Amino acid sequence: GEDVEQSLFLSVREGDSSVINCTYTDSSSTYLYWYKQEPGAGLQLLTYIFSNMDMKQDQRLTVLLNKKDKHLSLRIADTQTGDSAIYFCGGGYSGYALNFGKGTSLLVTP
């Protein structure tokens, strides 16, 4: 599969902003995604961005895409303890399905 790199761990205080970063090698994806996985649960689609966009905002979530650097980020404003989870970025590489990064574990402390 294509290489998708993510930082493995992030710890923030409740109320602060979180920024989770992702870099990828293949620029052929049309959509790029962020999924959230809580302990013991499946994958929840959080948001996605078209590859021809630079930014997408959805309530507390802001996705930034830098196509030149092949860099995707997810910013969570006013992070809450319920946001503690693993966050996976992924794209529709090679024309089918998704390849995922290794996931970033976000820990939100009171």
Partner 1 sequence: DTEVTQTPKHLVMGMTNKKSLKCEQHMGHRAMYWYKQKAKKPPELMFVYSYEKLSINESVPSRFSPECPNSSLLNLHLHALQPEDSALYLCASSRRRVSGNTIYFGEGSWLTVV
38 vs 54, beta carbon nearer partner 1 = 38
Closest CB 78 distance from partner 1, rounded Å? 26
Closest CB 60 distance from partner 1, rounded Å? 20
Query: What are the residues whose beta carbons fall under 8 Å from the beta carbon of 24, sequence distance 6 or more?
Result: 2, 3, 4, 5, 32, 70, 72, 89, 91, 93, 101
The vertex-23 CA angle with 18 and 29, nearest 5°, equals 115
13 vs 102, beta carbon nearer partner 1 = 102
Running DSSP on this structure, what letter comes out for residue 15?
A: T
Closest CB 100 distance from partner 1, rounded Å? 4
Query: Which parts of this chain interact with partner 1 (CB under 8 A)?
Result: 1, 28-31, 33, 35, 41-45, 48, 88, 91-103
Residues 58 and 80: their CA atoms lie apart, in Å, by: 16
14 vs 105, beta carbon nearer partner 1 = 105
